Every structure is written in C-alpha cells, then in structure tokens.
C-alpha cells in the first residue's frame, strides 16, 4: 500500500492566516493537514505532536517552507533527520525543490542533497545571527559614546529628599515610611541611599 501524504502548516499567532499554506498543501495533493497556531521556538506544539504519532515509514511529509517547521535551523535539522532517517518518512519543502528526499539526481539521493542544503542554511543562519549581534554591540557602543542612556529614565530625588533622609538616619522614620513620604518604592529609596553612600554624600 502506498504511503500517505501529510501536510503541516504553522503560523505564530491566532491573528495570522493559514490559508496560503493550506492552499499550497492541497494543491500538492496531501491526504491530511495538521496545522498549528504556535511559536516556532520549539516542537512542543499540539498538531505537530499529533502528526508525529500518525506518520509511519513510507509516508510523505509536506510543508510549504522550511521555516514552518521551526525558527531554529539546528532544531529543524535534528527533527528532519529524525523524520527522514529514523522514521523513514519522505520530506518535501514546496518553496525549496532541493529539499525533496523523494528525488534522485544522477545517483545522488534527495536525502543527501537535502542534508547538504540544510547544513548550508544552518551555517548561513549562524553567520547572520553573529552579524546581528555584532551590529547590535557596535550600535550600543556608538550610542554610549554619544551619551545615550538605555533603560527607564532614573527617577529624580524630590526636594524633600535630604530632610527625609536625615529623619531616617536619626531613626525617626523607617525605610517604608521614608519611601512612602517620597512617593517611591522601598527599593528605589534603598538604591538612592546606596548611591549616596558610595558618593560619600551622607553618613551611614
């Protein structure tokens, strides 16, 4: 008996539309479609788990594009090998004809070609991530040189801060009471006190 043909579609959010992927899978002629509305961060997705429990050796798995399987090429490659080599399931990526393990060209199997392509994609993705990190680091360094401060703006000390700190230092106010009078959190009051102590502005 010929193997079954399963399609898999995924979008990251409920607002995104699956129709384009489903139309492409139906045009290919799949027998059944599994669809997730979930992040591609990992493979812990309901429809994907159901698909894995359904496919058997000799079946075919079809996706419209490789990123529908997941965001991490390393994890995608591991899953691809699990499906094609351990489970003996053929895999087809519609947007990338080289990723079709059913094919054989001049004695070279589609599985071998797909492995080479996936390794190349993984390398390209790794290089791009490193380039992004480098650009981010360079951008942050340039911003620091221009005096740009990151994070939330620091809360300014109220005019009554000095007097309230003196009352706190004299034991007439607790930390919580001092913070309440300054209309800040206790952690902010503690941070201000620590900054003052480091700067030598107040006594312990």
Contacts of 86 (CB under 8 A, 6+ apart): none
User: Is there a catalytic annotation at residue 122?
Assistant: no
Determine contact, residues 84/93, Cβ cutoff 8 Å: no
**Beta-carbon neighbour count of residue 18 at 10 Å?**
16
Residue 13's alpha-carbon distances to 20, 39, 67, in angstroms, are: 15, 7, 15
d(C-alpha 99, C-alpha 65), whole Å: 10
CA 164 – CA 173 distance, rounded (Å): 8
**Catalytic: which of 12, 174, 185, 187?**
12
DSSP assignment letter at 68: G
Q: How many whole angstroms separate alpha carbon 112 and alpha carbon 104?
A: 9
Q: Could you tell me the CA-to-CA distances from 134 to 120, 137, 140 in Å, in that order?
A: 21, 5, 10
What backbone phi and psi angles, to 5 degrees, belong to 8? Answer: -130, 130
Hey, which residues are catalytic here?
A: 12
């Amino acid at each position: 008996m010929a193997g079954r043909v399963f399609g898999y579609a995924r979008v990251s959010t409920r607002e995104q539309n699956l129709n384009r992927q489903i139309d492409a899978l139906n045009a290919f002629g799949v027998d059944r479609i599994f669809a997730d509305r979930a992040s591609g961060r990992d493979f812990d997705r309901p429809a994907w788990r159901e698909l894995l429990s359904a496919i058997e050796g000799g079946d075919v798995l079809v996706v419209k594009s490789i990123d529908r399987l997941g965001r991490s090429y390393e994890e995608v490659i591991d899953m691809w090998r699990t499906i094609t080599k351990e489970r003996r399931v053929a895999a087809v990526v519609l947007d990338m004809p080289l990723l079709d393990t059913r094919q054989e060209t001049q004695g070279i199997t589609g599985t071998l070609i797909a492995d080479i392509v996936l390794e190349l994609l993984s390398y390209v993705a790794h290089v791009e991530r490193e380039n992004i990190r480098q650009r981010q680091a360079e951008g942050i360094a340039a911003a620091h040189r221009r005096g740009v401060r990151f994070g939330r703006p620091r809360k300014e000390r109220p005019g009554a801060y000095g007097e309230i700190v003196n009352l706190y230092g004299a034991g007439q106010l607790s930390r919580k009471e001092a913070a309440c009078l300054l209309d800040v959190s206790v952690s902010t009051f503690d941070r201000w006190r620590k900054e003052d102590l480091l700067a030598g502005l107040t006594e312990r």
